[in-house]
């Protein structure tokens, strides 16, 4: 059995900072849209498309889940963190993709999991925002030239919890997952042993304890999985900043296929 020790402090072998876009630039790159389900529920989201669609070509799709501070109804706050990495000019030229960034309404959560309660597991049904995000992914896959073997999911903080939640419920949907400073249900980690996962957390995180990531990674190892885990020793909650600014990490993500 693999033991969770200090050797888990894994670092990327290549760190190439990506230039950030100003918020106004991102608002132009990511188009504002709304998804309305058959039941009449609405999910606001932003979407970035490849600069051009080449005939006969299919493209990866990334689902990005924001943190708690970006909830609301302005359909803009979710652009605050993370999504600029995919819009970086060099990366976008090398990896044209469809990136969707939905916004959860105020006072809602992506994950249907009481992470503050020791041993609490996933609820039977997903939260409404996560349910709509899942439906949105399926809709986009049907309506656009998406490579169904290259669906990726990532999220930070509340979105890290949402990432663990969605891949646990639908382990065969995504080609890879990149949860950041979140947590999941270790009792259901056995469902994820075949999915490429690279998880990130700050050792000094005083909002979401790195213990939650460590428990998920240990559970995956115990179940026979082989996830990656990077714990930044001098980082508090904002572990998404070094994670999304590491070109090596994004190259790994886009290199995965089902």
Q: Which domain CATH number covers 190?
A: 3.40.50.1820
Task: Name the pTM for this structure.
Answer: 0.91
* CA-to-CA separations, 81 to 90, 205, 240, in angstroms, rounded: 18, 17, 8
In a domain, 32, yes or no: yes
Structure tokens, 197: 């996962």
Would you say 159 and 93 are in contact if contact means Cβ atoms under 8 Å apart? no
In a domain, 1, yes or no: no
* Tally of structural domains, the chain: 1
In a domain, 120, yes or no: yes
Structure tokens, 113: 């999991």
pLDDT value at residue 102: 98
pLDDT value at residue 106: 97
Structure tokens, 155: 């999220």
In a domain, 204, yes or no: yes
pLDDT value at residue 15: 41
Backbone phi, then psi, for 235, in 5-degree steps?
-115, 140
In a domain, 142, yes or no: yes
Would you say 231 and 203 are in contact if contact means Cβ atoms under 8 Å apart? yes
- Strands lying side by side in the sheet with 59-65: 31-36, 42-48, 98-103, 59-65, 146-156, 176-180, 198-202, 228-232
Q: Which domain holds residue 49?
A: 6-254
What is the C-alpha end-to-end distance of the chain, expressed in Å?
27
In a domain, 183, yes or no: yes
In a domain, 124, yes or no: yes
Give every residue of the chain whose pLDDT is below 50, as ranges: 1-20
In a domain, 55, yes or no: yes
Question: What SS3 class is residue 163?
Answer: helix
Q: In the chain, which ranges are E strands?
A: 31-36, 42-48, 59-65, 98-103, 146-156, 176-180, 198-202, 228-232
pLDDT value at residue 118: 61
Report long-range pairs for 29-38 (Cβ below 8 Å, ≥24 apart). Answer: 29/87, 30/79, 30/83, 30/87, 30/99, 30/101, 32/75, 32/76, 34/75, 35/102, 35/132, 35/135, 35/136, 35/139, 37/132, 37/135
């Amino acid at each position: 059995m693999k033991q969770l020790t200090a050797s888990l402090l894994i670092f990327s072998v290549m760190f190439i900072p990506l230039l950030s876009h100003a918020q106004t630039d991102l608002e132009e790159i990511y188009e504002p849209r709304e998804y309305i389900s058959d039941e009449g529920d609405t999910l606001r989201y932003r979407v970035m498309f490849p600069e051009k669609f080449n005939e006969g070509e299919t493209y990866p799709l990334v689902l990005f889940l924001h943190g708690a501070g970006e909830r609301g109804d302005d359909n803009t706050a979710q652009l605050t963190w993370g999504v600029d990495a995919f819009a970086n000019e060099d990366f976008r030229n090398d990896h044209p993709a469809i990136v969707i960034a939905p916004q959860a309404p105020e006072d809602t959560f992506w994950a249907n999991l009481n992470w503050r309660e020791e041993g609490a597991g996933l609820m039977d049904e997903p939260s409404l925002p996560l349910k709509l995000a899942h439906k949105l992914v399926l809709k986009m896959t049907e309506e656009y030239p998406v490579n169904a073997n290259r669906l990726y999911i990532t999220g930070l903080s509340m979105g890290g919890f949402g990432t663990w939640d969605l891949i646990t419920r639908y382990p065969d949907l995504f080609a890879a997952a990149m949860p950041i400073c979140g947590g999941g249900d270790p009792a259901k980690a056995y469902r994820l042993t075949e999915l490429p996962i690279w998880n990130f957390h700050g050792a000094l995180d005083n909002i979401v304890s790195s213990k939650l990531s460590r428990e998920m990674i240990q559970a995956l190892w115990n179940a026979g999985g082989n996830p990656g885990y990077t714990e930044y020793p001098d980082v508090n909650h904002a572990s998404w900043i070094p994670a999304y600014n590491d070109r090596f990490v994004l190259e790994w993500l886009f290199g995965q296929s089902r």
